[in-house]
């Protein structure tokens, strides 16, 4: 289908985390298809300067401020036909040996306040009886990565939220997409927070070595993934279908073979595969 097909369905879009990675790829895809985009970042200087693009300062660390920023943008756009909740951050460390304030922040930013924006977006869409909400979860919600426990839990939580909303919004004219990307070459690993671990971990060479092997595997996985434009094209096709559902995208194992194993394989088999892959 040509570019006009997407913009005919989605006139305006709101994209969080639009300055880099998948968020930037989604933004460029939408702009290239004639959709007017309001894109967010904590730092406006990092956002692109393009026709039909509106930069929005938004920090998901503060739910009330994020809500005000969204509502102001929604008013300026006369309502969003498409909202993509993509913003977030990675953190790598031992769950037990990292100060819990980091995990709490990650939950607040990526789950609590993403759900908050989802609620706001849906109110407007339901009043107009049209629109699409896309929450970017992850294949990590199905295949958890070691030393990224809260990231995995958050992504699984977003998938559960999306699944529930699909039932609630049947026959309303509003679409919900649970978009589950695998690893993409976005330099996500370069921005992952690696907090100082407490002294108990430093004194345990076995645990430290396992953690180092897991990090090496994670970086290699990210660096060898497809380009972000691949994920944007997967999203474009899903949006054109115009129906709620789950979209898995990425390399063949993550998008095809992994889900097959998740459905038909045992939990023990899945754990053995993960342990072997991450050198555990």
**How many folded domains does the chain comprise?**
1
CATH code of 32's domain: 3.40.50.720
Q: Active-site residue numbers?
A: 151
In this predicted model, what pLDDT tens digit does every residue of 119-151 receive, in sequence order? 999 999 999 999 999 999 999 888 889 999 999
Residue with tokens 């993934």, as numbered in its chain: 225
In this predicted model, what pLDDT tens digit does every residue of 73-104 receive, in sequence order? 999 999 999 999 999 999 999 999 999 999 99
Q: Is the separation of the CB atoms in 182 and 250 below 8 Å?
A: yes
- Read off the pTM: 0.92
Query: What was the pLDDT predicted at 3?
Result: 65
Query: What was the pLDDT predicted at 138?
Result: 94
Full residue range of the structural domain in which residue 115 is found: 3-277
Give Cβ neighbours of residue 220 (< 8 Å, ≥ 6 apart). none
CA distances from 200 to 145, 214, 255 (A): 22, 19, 38
At residue 240, does pLDDT exceed 90?
yes
Residue of 25, 140, 6, 17 lying closest to 89 (CA atoms): 17
Query: What was the pLDDT predicted at 271?
Result: 80
In this predicted model, what pLDDT tens digit does every residue of 41-66 receive, in sequence order? 999 999 989 999 999 999 999 999 99
Query: What was the pLDDT predicted at 144?
Result: 87
Dihedral sign for Cα 26, 93, 217, 279, please: negative
Residue of 206, 98, 106, 216 lying closest to 151 (CA atoms): 106
């Amino acid at each position: 289908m040509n570019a006009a097909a997407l913009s005919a369905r989605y006139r305006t879009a709101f994209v969080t985390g639009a300055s880099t990675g998948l968020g930037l790829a989604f933004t460029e895809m939408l702009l290239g298809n004639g959709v007017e985009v309001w894109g967010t970042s904590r730092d406006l200087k990092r956002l692109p300067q393009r026709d039909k693009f509106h930069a929005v300062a938004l920090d998901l660390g503060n739910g009330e401020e994020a809500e005000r920023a969204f509502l102001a943008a929604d008013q300026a756009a006369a309502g969003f036909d498409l909202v993509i909740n993509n913003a977030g951050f990675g953190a790598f460390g031992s769950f037990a040996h990292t100060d819990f304030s980091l995990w709490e922040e990650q939950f607040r930013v990526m789950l609590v306040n993403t759900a908050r924006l989802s609620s706001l977006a849906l109110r407007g869409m339901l009043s107009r009886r049209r629109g699409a909400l896309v929450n970017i979860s992850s294949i990590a919600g199905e295949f958890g990565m070691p030393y990224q426990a809260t990231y995995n839990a958050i992504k699984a939580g977003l998938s559960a939220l999306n699944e529930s909303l699909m039932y609630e919004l049947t026959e309303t004219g509003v679409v919900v997409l649970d978009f589950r990307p695998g690893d993409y070459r976005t330099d996500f690993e370069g921005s992952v927070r690696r907090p100082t671990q407490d002294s108990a971990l430093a004194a345990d060479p076995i645990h430290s070595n396992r953690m180092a092997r897991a990090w090496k595997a994670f970086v290699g996985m990210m660096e060898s993934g497809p380009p972000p434009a691949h994920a944007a094209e997967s999203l474009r096709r899903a949006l054109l279908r115009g129906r709620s559902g789950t979209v898995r995208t990425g390399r063949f194992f993550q998008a095809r073979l992994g889900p097959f194993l998740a459905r038909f394989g045992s939990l023990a088999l899945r754990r053995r595969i993960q342990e072997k892959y991450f050198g555990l």
